[in-house]
Structures are given as structure tokens and as C-alpha cells.
Structure 1
Amino acid sequence: MISDFTTKQSLQSLSQGQPYQTQTAPCPITPSQIRFVGQVESLMTRHAAEGDFHFVLLALSDGLMFRGKWRAASDELLPRLGDVIHIETEPNGFDLMVNNLPSVNTANQLAGKACCLIKNWQVIPAPYPLEMLDQLYCITEQPETLDRLWGIIQRIPVPILRSWLSDLFANTQLSLPFAQVPASHNHHHSHAGGLLLHSVECAEWVEQVATRTLNPKEAALSVIAALLHDFGKIETMNEKGFSQFVSHEVLSLTLLEPSLITLQAQWPQGAYALRQMLSWSTFSEKFPKFPGALLVKMADQYSTSLSARNKAFHALPEHYYWARLKTSNSVQMFNRIN
């Protein structure tokens, strides 16, 4: 997988000495920084006078191979054979990146080949096919936030809910736009991938409080409600004018209902509780039936406020302590202390 992003065809041209050509693909091109998703085929450590290096061979989703290396660190946990990892290369740090060659069979062969210098790597714990992960990391401008999303799913302590949430994101008709669209047009997180970032921020903040104050089942439901509270925006932020017909809160429940029916067959109480938590903002009660819904609301407001303030101060000198953010229906004033 290549994202942030370059297409595999472009890398083939590079490895064969051909001129670089921009491809008509959903991935924007940033030649100085390239990301991959691949499965670990071979891994070794080589000791040398200039330092120790780890060498890795990755199988990409289209059958191409990627060779990379990074400087070894003490007490470093390494990926295992068969793991799917997401890597980011050093800018201009490659000699030979991709080639349509057979897999390397020995450690000496792997270390002897020209390799790309790896800046960061992360094991992806998501139980999805390599092709699907390739798509997700290619289209999103928030690859690190995708890594955080898999961590949230993995930490859900209730097996039924963890499996349910994993299955939900296995549906690429839902997960691809969720990873790509902004959270608003000109307010908070109004950039590509903003919905993913806002949703993950809310879920992580709710997780910190809910796991300490609620029982495991209610805490897990609260985290999931925070993650999915704006899910309807994958429709409203995709279609011009569509948000004027149906609110994203209503569309969230509409889009999730097929999955909620599946959850209801396994755990009816959990499915109804999640429906209630996702719809509470449309009611007028002072307190929600589930306190976790209040955590979701506060996390939503906090994440929104931080993003909007950052947007307001974005182009201003550091010594400015107030700023104004104008949206389509309001003007919001912000302060900061430096």
C-alpha cells in the first residue's frame, strides 16, 4: 500500500528507472513522504560498526515486495512474521523500494539488497484483509488516527461489542468515507479525515473517564457511542445540500440500524442502550438515562472547541491572545494564554 501518498505503479516506475508520473488515483502524491501497509515476510537484525539495523521484507496487497530497514533501539518490540504493519519512510531515503522479485529466502539476501529507510512503523491489530487496509490507508489523510482507531477497538473489554464494532468497520461502504470526509464544512475538523480524527478524540477522552467510573459494559457502550456519535456525517458531508434534508444524528441511527439489529440478536439490552445513547441529544431531559451519554456530549464539545480555536488562531502571530472564527451561521470569539 502506498499513501500520503504514491501509487504502486509510480513506485514500479521508480524502481525500474522510469520517469515519475502522477497517477489518477484517490491518493494524493507527496514524493518526500511515502507510507505502506504490508505483511511481514522476513525480518532480521544485522550488527555493523555503524550501528545495528533491522531489515524487513513486506508483501504488498498487489503481490509486489517492499524492502526496508530502520536503526535498532534497545528493548524494542519487533513485529512478528505474518503481522500487518503500517510504515512511513524517511524523505528521499530509498534506493530500491519495490520490485516484482521473488521473496527473499535468507537473512543475508535480505540485508544485502538495497532498502528503503523506515522512519516509523506500527503493527495494525485490525483483523481485516490486507487489500481493505490498503484502501483505508490510501484514501485517508489521517493514517496515524487510523492506528488509534484500531487501538480503541482492541481495548473494548466486552467481547460481543468488540466483535460487533470490528465487523461494522469491515464494511468498506461505511469505513472508507468515515476515514476520508471532514467533520464540518468550515467549523471544526473541517479538513479531509476530520470526521475520523474528531470521532477518535471523543472516544479516547470518554474512555479515560468511563473506564474509571462505570462498569465495563456501560464504559464500553459509552466509548462506542462517542466513536459513532457523528457517523451520519459520512452521508451529510458527502452530498451537497443533503444535510438540509436530514440531520446527521438521525442518519447515524439509520446507517447503524442493520448492524444494531445484528447486535440485538446477541445482546438486546446492549443494542437498545446504544440506540438510546446515540439519540439522547435530540431529547430535552436534563440528564440522560445513561450517564455515559453525558460524557459523549462533553467530549464532543471539547474536541469541537479545541479544533475551532486552532482554526481561528491558525494564521495569526503567536502573541495574539484573541481571535474570531466566522462560520456560515455564527461568529465565535476565542482567547488563549501563551
Structure 2
Amino acid sequence: MLHVREGIWFDDGRTGALLQLGNYQQLEEVALYEPPFFESPVVSDNELSTFLPQAGDCLTPRLMPSTSKQNPWPTLREWTPLSPEKAGLVALPRSWAINPGDLVRLVHQVASIRHPSLQGLMNELLGDAQRAWAYLRAPASLNHHHNEPGGLLHHSLEVVDHLMGLWPRNAPALERDLLITAGLLHDIGKTWVYRGTEGYTDLGQVLHHDTLTLEILGPYLATIDSTLANTLRHLLCRSERTSHYPRSALKAALQQADALSAEQYYQQQAFEGLPSYRYRGRDLQGQSWYRLVSQRKG
């Protein structure tokens, strides 16, 4: 629930509260009437404010469509409290995302993960409101690719899209699930590195985001199978000393997808505002870029 306005006098003479509910798909205002208009025996002999859910609470509501011409709002009949971790991504408010379409894509990508531990990790991790807010709104960099608010999420989704194109369709489902999870989380340490688009946090000035990614995920990785957790650590660790440790095609694919997302961003930047017949352009760093020009008929 996003917002509560108490002490409302509705046009049909009833009183109560107006609540704003939201999930990843929609936002809606609903009415909760005071007794005797609200028939719940639990509420009828007590003050409505005693039972009002609070802003930030996660709940499963039961709504009744409005039958009043004066009051267009659906009526909140009852609700079931739900832990944010259990509700997961579907409970994230659409309004939190810079681009709501990216939040929808994120929910669908996580829902496509078949392994219960990996899907559970994603939902529990982003069931934390503070972490989810930062993940949905952070940039992927300050001066390089996807440096706008919401750029981190958009870049992460692009990485997953590229991974699904790079990886064989007949590969084991677990490999696909690991790639989706790693693709979505490979830069989550940046939520501790950047202060919006204004600069670096104190922590971001002394530690690289890869180190912070593993620190953020540590408590969650400790709750799943150790082999699975270590595979994710292997995929997400990009230390300078990784040459001392085993390679894997999974990790190579993640690195390629990450680089491809960044390169496409720079190329798009280089040709932004240029006519379609121009095949040379420069990005904001002065790098020259080349693109194919569609052949014209005739």
C-alpha cells in the first residue's frame, strides 16, 4: 500500500479512508468505510484507524466494485497481510520504476526462472523495499553507458536478452536460470556505489561495485544449495585475479552480453539525431562508430 488518507467525507454521506494500492501492473484508489457502512464484525465495534493498514504494508486485498454514482472507488472489503519477501516482485509499485515497462519485463523474467531456489532468491532480495527502490531507479554508470535514472534495470534486462540469444535453446534449464539470475544481478552492487546520478557514495569511493554485489547477495546465497551459490559467485566475480581460477562458457556469455549492451548504448548515442543515411558517428567520448546503411530500392 502506497498512501492512506483518513477522515474522508464521501459524496454519498459516508465517512472513512481512501487508500492507494499498487503493484507492478497498476495503481488504484480504494475506499474503506467506517462502521456501520463497513460490515466486518471485527471493525464494527472499534475505531477504523485501529485496523487501517499502514503505508508500506504489503497485503492481498478483496475489493468490491463501486455501486454508487457519487463514489467511483472500489470498496476494500478485507485484506490479508503478506510479508514483502513472500509477495516478491509482483508487489512492487508500478510508480517506483522510471520506466514501468521495464518493471513488467523484470517480473516476467523472474517468473520464467524454473529453479525454486533461484526464483525465491530474486523475490526475497527485491522484496526488500529499500533495495528494490534503488535497483529500479539507479543508473548503470555516472558518465558512461545507461547513465540515466533507471539505467541499471534497463541494462540488466538487455544483458538477459542477449544471454538468451547467445545460449543454446536446448541447454539444460538450470543453465538458463543461472544466466537470467546472474544477468539481472551482475551490477546490483551499483545500488551502493552511486548517489542517484549526482556522484559516488562514501562506500562507492573505496570499493568496486563487483565486491559490493557479492556482499549484497551474501546473506541470500547462504540460504540456498552451496553448489548453486558458488556457481553464482563464480559468475559474478570479476576480480583481476580471476585468471587464477577456472573459466566457464556461462561466465564468458555473461561478460559478452554485458559488453554488448554497453556497446549498443554507445552506438545509439553516436547516431542520435543524425539522419538515417549517415553511417559514421561519434559518441560523447569522441569514439567513432560505424553502422550499416539500409540499401535503397531503385
78, 95, 108: which one aligns with 1:138: 95
Task: Mark the CA change 1:104 to 1:301 in structure 2 (over 3 Å): closer, same or farther.
Answer: closer
Q: Say whether the 8 Å CA contact 1:280–1:293 is kept in structure 2.
A: no
Residue 155 (structure 2) pairs with residue 198 (structure 1):
yes
- 1:152-167 matches, within 5 Å, as 152-167=109-124
Task: Mark the CA change 1:306 to 1:152 in structure 2 (over 3 Å): closer, same or farther.
Answer: same
Residue 206 (structure 2) pairs with residue 245 (structure 1):
yes
Residue 257 (structure 2) pairs with residue 296 (structure 1):
no
Residue 289 (structure 2) pairs with residue 334 (structure 1):
yes
TM-score w.r.t. length of structure 1? 0.60
Aligned to 2:236: 278
| C-alpha distance in structure 2 between counterparts of 1:110 and 1:283, whole Å | 68
Could you tell which deviates more after superposition, 178-187 or 240-249? Answer: 240-249
Aligned to 1:256: 217
What SS does the aligned partner of 1:262 have? coil
Q: Say whether the 8 Å CA contact 2:24–2:103 is kept in structure 1.
A: no
Q: Say whether the 8 Å CA contact 1:182–1:191 is kept in structure 2.
A: yes
| C-alpha distance in structure 1 between counterparts of 2:148 and 2:118, whole Å | 30
258, 262, 268: which one aligns with 2:226: 268
Letter in 2 for 1:178: Y
What SS does the aligned partner of 2:283 have? strand
Letter in 1 for 2:156: S
Task: Mark the CA change 1:110 to 1:274 in structure 2 (over 3 Å): closer, same or farther.
Answer: farther
| C-alpha distance in structure 1 between counterparts of 2:70 and 2:169, whole Å | 51
Residue 47 (structure 2) pairs with residue 86 (structure 1):
no
What SS does the aligned partner of 2:227 have? helix
- 1:218-229 matches, within 5 Å, as 218-229=175-186
Letter in 1 for 2:25: H
1:78-127 deviations in Å (ceiling 9; x for gaps): xxxxxx56249xxxxxxxx95747698568x4899879xxxxxxxxxx96
Q: CA deviation at 1:228?
A: 1.0
| C-alpha distance in structure 1 between counterparts of 2:185 and 2:65, whole Å | 46
| C-alpha distance in structure 1 between counterparts of 2:152 and 2:234, whole Å | 22
Q: Runs of 4 or more off by more than 6 Å in structure 1?
A: 110-115
What SS does the aligned partner of 1:334 have? strand
Aligned to 1:170: 127
Q: CA deviation at 1:152?
A: 1.1
Aligned to 1:320: 278
Letter in 2 for 1:256: L
1:123-174 deviations in Å (ceiling 9; x for gaps): xxx962799522xx22321211111111111111211211122111111232
Q: CA deviation at 1:185?
A: 1.5
Task: Mark the CA change 1:130 to 1:325 in structure 2 (over 3 Å): closer, same or farther.
Answer: closer
- 1:302-313 matches, within 5 Å, as 302-313=260-271
Q: CA deviation at 1:197?
A: 0.5
Aligned to 1:185: 142
What SS does the aligned partner of 1:276 have? helix
| C-alpha distance in structure 2 between counterparts of 1:111 and 1:285, whole Å | 69
| C-alpha distance in structure 1 between counterparts of 2:65 and 2:282, whole Å | 61
| C-alpha distance in structure 2 between counterparts of 1:172 and 1:141, whole Å | 16
Q: Say whether the 8 Å CA contact 1:64–1:101 is kept in structure 2.
A: no
Residue 19 (structure 2) pairs with residue 63 (structure 1):
yes
Aligned to 2:37: none
Greater C-alpha radius of gyration: 2
Letter in 2 for 1:262: T
| C-alpha distance in structure 1 between counterparts of 2:90 and 2:4, whole Å | 13
Q: CA deviation at 1:281?
A: 5.8
TM-score w.r.t. length of structure 2? 0.67
1:162-196 deviations in Å (ceiling 9; x for gaps): 11221111112321111001111232111110000
Could you tell me which runs of 5 or more consecutive residues in structure 1 were left unpaired when the two chains were aligned: 17-60, 67-83, 89-96, 116-125
